[in-house]
Structure 1
């Protein structure tokens, strides 16, 4: 947090001086009065200026960036965290970890486990004391896109197998975020429906073929459990 100490004839003057030095509007700072002004006696002696400490309130982007970089630094990983242009698909912020290729595997972890854990923590930090919840998406090495494409291909193959064999197909156990990708991808198909069975961390997606005798209305209105 960037902080300056400034003086002035009044507290307001001191704050204005600090704002000029910091280059930010008053809404972006916290002010702590260190010393109230005292008017000089007899017009000449005993007076003193106001003294204030003004600190810039970090943005949520800065909070997230500093937190993630700090955690990675303690892991022995030299990396930079960038806030992506725009917002993520669900309206939250999107952060990207830029690091050496050999370190990317450590940041991502097995099936994204480390990346998911870090994303959970940064969401907790970013939303402390906030009235409205903001969701943070964290990525490294373009893992999220590659993982989504891999799951969609797996879902497509499994759906084709279910239709061909006319039997349900169980996928391997996966976290809720991966199951959601499978369910969402197959929503557009009318020849299969999906559900989830089991308890975390062993919960699995089941792809069920829709038999031809099933009324079309029930296919269109099917629901899935994540």
Structure 2
């Protein structure tokens, strides 16, 4: 997409124009000053800005994913939930195997691709989590059950345990599941694709 540009005499006027055009408040705009002219004795003074809002990010994400499906000749519909600037995307498709891949690897790669494309487009880090036909929710339930079993063993034996490498969202799901477990804490270790969660015996840990 191309950012829309607005040029007015002052920054406030340019922002008000952009907000009116996009149907949002000024506070919801993200902008960069492209050019600012001081003029001579106030004559010819102007400010040019490029602007986007959260709705532009949402539209980009939906369009990007839908175009991917069209180019790959796959069926799929896309819905999006904006969770305070973190975008949760649900894809319904009959091509589960292709989109998810073995152990979720294809979905993980696709998530990184979409996240990188949006971050590059809007020149900021854009948080994205894509789920296909409820795969992620099922996955969270499975890995948290496993982690609870491991945590109980750690608490019984007092020996720390390391889980297999997994993406950040899955590590977070386990961390949340064990957050209030007595004498148990979690810590991420490793770099890149080898980043994994350790379940640690932590006697005396305070639980809310």
- Contact 1:68–1:81 (Cα < 8 Å) also in 2: yes
Q: 1:142 aligns with which of 118, 134, 137?
A: 134
Please name the residue that 1:220 is paired with.
Answer: 206
Q: 1:189 to 1:109 in 2, by over 3 A?
A: same
Aligned residue for 1:195, secondary structure, equals strand
Q: 1:111 aligns with which of 86, 103, 116?
A: 103
Please name the residue that 1:95 is paired with.
Answer: 89
Q: Give 1:203 shift.
A: 3.2
Please name the residue that 1:60 is paired with.
Answer: 57
Please name the residue that 2:148 is paired with.
Answer: 156
- Contact 1:119–1:138 (Cα < 8 Å) also in 2: yes
Q: 1:133 to 1:204 in 2, by over 3 A?
A: closer
More helix by share: 2
CA distance, structure 2, for counterparts of residue 106 and residue 139 of structure 1: 13
More strand by share: 2
Aligned residue for 1:205, secondary structure, equals strand
| Structure 1 gap ranges (5+) | 2-24, 29-56, 222-226
Q: Give the TM-score, by structure 1 length.
A: 0.59
Aligned residue for 1:119, secondary structure, equals helix
How many corresponding residue pairs?
Answer: 159
Q: Which moved more, 1:124-133 or 1:141-150?
A: 124-133
Aligned residue for 2:176, secondary structure, equals helix
Q: Give 1:167 shift.
A: 1.5
Q: 1:171 to 1:129 in 2, by over 3 A?
A: closer
Alignment of 1:30-49 (within 5 A): none
Q: Give 1:131 shift.
A: 6.8
Q: 1:112 to 1:209 in 2, by over 3 A?
A: same
Q: Give 1:91 shift.
A: 4.0
Q: Give 1:208 shift.
A: 2.1
Q: Give the TM-score, by structure 2 length.
A: 0.63
| Structure 2 gap ranges (5+) | 2-18, 23-52
Please name the residue that 1:200 is paired with.
Answer: 192
